[in-house]
A and B are shown apart, each in its own frame.
Chain A
Amino acid sequence: MTRALAGGGLAAAFVVALTLGPLVVVALWAEAGSGLGAGDWAAIRFTLWQALLSALFSVALAIPVARALARRTFPGRGLLVLLLGAPFIVPVIVAVLGLLAVFGRTGLVSQTLGALGMDPLSIYGLHGVVLAHVFFNLPLATRLILQGWLAIPSERFRLAATLGMGPVDVFRQLEWPMLRAVVPGVAMLIFLICTTSFAVALTLGGGPRATTIELAIYQAFLFEFDLGKAAVLATIQFAVTGAAAALAAWVAVPAVMGAGLDRPVQRWDAARGAARAIDAAWIGLAALFLLVPLSMIVLRGVPQLAGLPPQVFEAAGRSVVVAVLSACLVLVLALPLASAAQALRGARPMAATVVESVGYLSIAASPLVIGTGLFIVLFPIANPATLALPITIAVNAAMSLPFALRAILPELGAVEAQYGRTADALGMRGWARLRWLILPRLRRPLGFAAGLAAALSMGDLGVIALFANSENATLPLQLYQLMAAYRTNDAAGAALLLLGLSLVLFWAIDRGGRVNAAV
């Protein structure tokens, strides 16, 4: 217990230093900033509103898709699940261009409408912002909820079938408790991701009405050079995170499923024709929505791949190294944090929530404020450019931590509930418990978390833009520089390379963690 707390404390300290630390530095460095204007308040309102809508739609659509994936097996299912995760990990501008190829003025949908004599679609506005956020986050929500479904032991469904339970009873007895436990956290996560949205909201929002807090920070910092105001806005972003995390913790009810024998799930309740058709429809629609825009990225990129300049491949190599190291670091941070939260949960639930919330801080952190704060601290000590890659690794790991925690915490809770007492009775503590109980039981979420961290790190522009030179540019940065130099064809090739590498990394790491072929 004490060792778990010490490890968790260290990890928490690291995350706080990386997220709140820079904010404090910026605030101290700043002269008294001007107050918030009407525009800033409008930005805060818009940010919360679009994030709320995006989270609700993402989760509402993810539940039927995850359920369909959980109770069906079909050839290519594994590949489909892998590909469905792709939108989450590509850089914003790449995904936006992919979306526009489908939903834009000259996109597939508008062309079809035009052929039928109807007006083209307009994607710009709040609906466009929400559409793009659902595109980004539906895969994440689906994966996390799917994990929840797969955590229900197959014996439960067998028992339900033996008892002659129909779909309604199965839902009420088995699936609803799991959703109560998993969905609030997932919704909160997506809400938070969307609160820091900047480029998507602006590009698809259609104008300054779609100003988010992150853009207001940008304006305060770069346009007005009012660091005080930037710090105030960043603090508001953290306050929103804290409130959302507290709300989600309050709504969620941990589910105790009992132990299982890891047999593959068979669903007798869903064998009938209607259920099959509904599941097929949900899987088909989700696949269309997520994969067609990605196919457009692939189609545009393939002809350009062969002609890519060598610097792009060098940047790709750097990005892979950064991604793998970030993935390792995120596990080193997530396991102790999750263990500490778990250890505290019974005796001191408030403390557990605080520890857990620390893990979510990074999601609310403005990359611009983190970068600036770190810069102010590091500049007197060292040349920032030489630290670009280590900083990127650390910040990317911190940024992926919320997803890792989301994946690990529920299953760690389940493991402790099922095997904790036996392990205690056997005197398994510390390393032995980790080695023989926790790690084997958590292989699936750990693999998923590390894979996701690697892929996210691959695609993230994050803070590197503030530190990097062309000598240590990562692939996303190189992609932006190609676009800035009019080289849209090379950029399309680089985008495909990035997409491919992210998926391969995710697949390789995630696969290492899979107990069976269920996901």
Chain B
Amino acid sequence: MRKHPIIAAGLLAATPALADLPVLTVYTYDSFTSDWGPGPAVEAAFEETCGCDLQFVGAGDGAALLARVRLEGARTEADIVLGLDTNLTAAAAETGLFTAHGQDASGLDLPVAWEDETFLPFDWGYFAFVHDKEALPTPPTSLRALADSDVSILIQDPRSSTPGLGLLMWVQAAYGDEAGEIWAGLSDNIVTVTKGWSEAYGLFLEGEADMVLSYTTSPAYHLIAEEDPSKAAAPFEEGHYMQIEVAGKLAGTDQPELADQFMAFMISEAFQSVIPTTNWMYPAVIPEGGLPEGFDTLIQPETALVIPAEDAPAVRDAALETWLGALSQ
């Protein structure tokens, strides 16, 4: 049903409705719903049991997702928005479009306690600098050591990229008022700042820098999908900033029961077991069989840093000022 055999038909017609099944519309970011992300497997698993048609709608990245929901307002067709993170949830909650998730969050396997009653996590990860073990056998051991070193790094622009914003929050959470000093120290390490994660990671794989800002789980992709053990994430003494990805239910949904059913499904085995090797993040609930082989080789940060969602907008704006000031010198 998902793929039209005739291209011209795809130009003219919408996907024909499945025979009168109720439709659950989930807005998410592009890479979740792409053919290479978790979307296809999640859709198949949910449709097996729900007696419904689950439709993913991709809307850029997390920030674009929130912008789209804001543009659509109460008229939105979304029943669920999946793919915001804790840097965005305060702004999302402020729209008043979301309602309580209604699930029991006590079974979540997160490094931090989860108390938000509107948004429910589906996966999480630690930001980290990834390097090639051969090219850089002894990476710096902290943000400060990195700033003092002459190791070259690639980062993303916080204004257009989620990981880029993550690093901003990471430096802020670890150093507070000293963040400007760290950024000044980092400025000569930065080879360049890219629009998004894909560009920076692509440049890193081309050998343009020693390290790239990514996730602690990135080496698992190379190990599992490419059988390439050469990549590693460097553990930093300050701790690692967390990205917690969440979903929320729209208050105005016309499918409240289905939406509840999906939220419950989201933290169940069938959804969670897909996450590690499609989204390359940690599942919010460890599957029964444990994490896939290869995840045990990843570094385990001792300290999980995260700025509370309600403080994030104010911290973010101040941190951006600091960042721009330090790097525009």
A residues in contact (CB < 8 Å) with B? 29, 39, 42, 93, 96-97, 100-101, 104-106, 124, 198-199, 202-209, 215, 218-219, 221-223, 225, 309, 311, 314, 317-318, 321, 372, 375-376, 379-380, 383, 385-386, 389-390, 465-466, 468-473, 478, 480-488, 491
Q: Which residues of A contact B194 (CB under 8 A)?
A: 199, 202-203
Stretch of B2-10, B233-241, B285-293 that contacts chain A: B2-10
Contact present for A225 and B56 (CB under 8 Å): no
CA distance A485 to B209 in the complex (A): 20
Contact present for A202 and B157 (CB under 8 Å): yes
**A-B pairs with the 8 shortest C-beta distances?**
A485-B36, A106-B207, A481-B34, A483-B198, A386-B14, A484-B31, A219-B159, A222-B63
Contact present for A383 and B14 (CB under 8 Å): yes
Q: Which residues of B contact A101 (CB under 8 A)?
A: 206
Q: Which residues of B contact A29 (CB under 8 A)?
A: 71
CA distance A293 to B76 in the complex (A): 45
From 171 to 228 in chain B, residues with beta carbon under 8 angstroms from any chain A beta carbon are 187, 190-199, 201-203, 205-209, 218, 221-222, 225
Contact present for A206 and B195 (CB under 8 Å): no
Known contacts A106-B207, A465-B60; A485/B192 CB under 8 A: no
Q: Which residues of A contact B160 (CB under 8 A)?
A: 202, 215, 218-219, 222-223
Within 8 Å by CB of B195, from A100, A203, A372, A389, lies A203
Contact present for B31 and A372 (CB under 8 Å): no
CA distance A223 to B157 in the complex (A): 11
Contact present for B221 and A376 (CB under 8 Å): no
Query: Interface of chain A, helix or strand or loop or mixed?
Result: helix
Q: Which residues of A contact B150 (CB under 8 A)?
A: none
CA distance A221 to B91 in the complex (A): 14
Contact present for B34 and A471 (CB under 8 Å): no
Contact present for A207 and B190 (CB under 8 Å): yes
Within 8 Å by CB of B8, from A202, A321, A478, A484, lies A321
Contact present for A481 and B31 (CB under 8 Å): yes
Nearest residue, chain A, Cβ from B220 = A486
Stretch of B107-115, B262-270, B300-308, B321-329 that contacts chain A: B321-329
Contact present for B34 and A470 (CB under 8 Å): yes
Within 8 Å by CB of A380, from B31, B75, B198, B209, lies B75
Using a Cβ–Cβ cut-off of 8 Å, how many residues does chain B contribute to the interface with A? 68
Nearest residue, chain B, Cβ from A200 = B195
Contact present for A376 and B30 (CB under 8 Å): no
Known contacts A100-B203, A105-B207; A480/B75 CB under 8 A: no
Contact present for A488 and B36 (CB under 8 Å): no
Q: Which residues of B contact A198 (CB under 8 A)?
A: 195
From 294 to 314 in chain B, residues with beta carbon under 8 angstroms from any chain A beta carbon are none
Nearest residue, chain A, Cβ from B198 = A483
Contact present for B190 and A469 (CB under 8 Å): no
B207 CB → nearest A CB, Å: 4
Contact present for B30 and A484 (CB under 8 Å): yes
B139 CB → nearest A CB, Å: 18
Contact present for B77 and A383 (CB under 8 Å): yes
CA distance A309 to B222 in the complex (A): 19
Known contacts A311-B35, A470-B35, A484-B31; A104/B328 CB under 8 A: no
A63 CB → nearest B CB, Å: 32
CA distance A39 to B159 in the complex (A): 13
Within 8 Å by CB of A106, from B30, B75, B208, lies B208
Known contacts A202-B194, A207-B327, A208-B328; A222/B64 CB under 8 A: yes
Number of A-B residue pairs having CB atoms within 8 Å of each other in the complex: 172
CA distance A469 to B280 in the complex (A): 21
Q: Which residues of B contact A105 (CB under 8 A)?
A: 152, 191, 207-209
B58 touches A (CB below 8 Å): yes
| 25 CB < 8 A contacts A-B | A29-B71, A100-B206, A105-B191, A105-B208, A106-B207, A106-B208, A199-B199, A204-B192, A207-B190, A207-B327, A208-B193, A215-B159, A218-B159, A223-B63, A223-B320, A225-B66, A311-B35, A318-B7, A318-B11, A372-B71, A379-B72, A386-B13, A480-B198, A484-B36, A486-B222
Contact present for B190 and A471 (CB under 8 Å): no
Q: Which residues of B contact A389 (CB under 8 A)?
A: 10-11
Q: Which residues of A contact B274 (CB under 8 A)?
A: none
Contact present for A223 and B159 (CB under 8 Å): yes
Contact present for A379 and B57 (CB under 8 Å): no
B147 touches A (CB below 8 Å): no
B33 touches A (CB below 8 Å): yes
Contact present for B39 and A470 (CB under 8 Å): yes
A111 CB → nearest B CB, Å: 11
Contact present for A375 and B57 (CB under 8 Å): no
Contact present for B57 and A385 (CB under 8 Å): yes
Known contacts A104-B207, A215-B157; A486/B201 CB under 8 A: yes
Contact present for B3 and A314 (CB under 8 Å): yes
Contact present for A469 and B58 (CB under 8 Å): yes
Contact present for A486 and B225 (CB under 8 Å): yes
CA distance A223 to B319 in the complex (A): 13
Within 8 Å by CB of B202, from A97, A222, A321, A478, lies A97
Nearest residue, chain A, Cβ from B187 = A207
Nearest residue, chain A, Cβ from B36 = A485
CA distance A345 to B39 in the complex (A): 56
Known contacts A42-B328, A93-B199, A203-B199; A485/B193 CB under 8 A: no
Known contacts A225-B70, A469-B33, A471-B3; A205/B192 CB under 8 A: yes
CA distance A96 to B208 in the complex (A): 12
Q: In the complex, which of the residues A101, A105, A311, A321 has the most CB atoms of chain B within 10 Å of its own CB atom?
A: A105
Q: In the complex, which of the residues B192, B218, B221, B328 has the most CB atoms of chain A within 10 Å of its own CB atom?
A: B192
From 32 to 79 in chain B, residues with beta carbon under 8 angstroms from any chain A beta carbon are 33-37, 39, 56-60, 63-64, 66-68, 70-72, 75, 77
Contact present for B323 and A208 (CB under 8 Å): yes
Contact present for A225 and B31 (CB under 8 Å): no
Known contacts A204-B192, A206-B190, A206-B193; A221/B67 CB under 8 A: yes
Known contacts A215-B157, A465-B30, A482-B36; A93/B193 CB under 8 A: no
B203 CB → nearest A CB, Å: 7
Known contacts A222-B63, A225-B67, A321-B8; A203/B192 CB under 8 A: yes
Contact present for B198 and A484 (CB under 8 Å): yes
CA distance A199 to B160 in the complex (A): 10
A268 CB → nearest B CB, Å: 49
CA distance A97 to B222 in the complex (A): 20
A392 CB → nearest B CB, Å: 10
Contact present for B56 and A469 (CB under 8 Å): yes
B40 CB → nearest A CB, Å: 8
Known contacts A106-B206, A390-B11, A470-B34; A202/B198 CB under 8 A: no
Nearest residue, chain A, Cβ from B15 = A471
Within 8 Å by CB of A100, from B68, B201, B208, lies B208
CA distance A317 to B6 in the complex (A): 10
Q: Which residues of A contact B57 (CB under 8 A)?
A: 385, 469
Q: Which residues of B contact A207 (CB under 8 A)?
A: 187, 190, 192-193, 327-328
Q: Which residues of A contact B195 (CB under 8 A)?
A: 198-199, 202-203, 215
Within 8 Å by CB of B205, from A390, A470, A471, A488, lies A488
Contact present for B36 and A468 (CB under 8 Å): no
Contact present for B193 and A487 (CB under 8 Å): no
CA distance A318 to B58 in the complex (A): 18
CA distance A309 to B36 in the complex (A): 10
Within 8 Å by CB of A481, from B7, B35, B206, lies B35
Q: Which residues of A contact B39 (CB under 8 A)?
A: 470
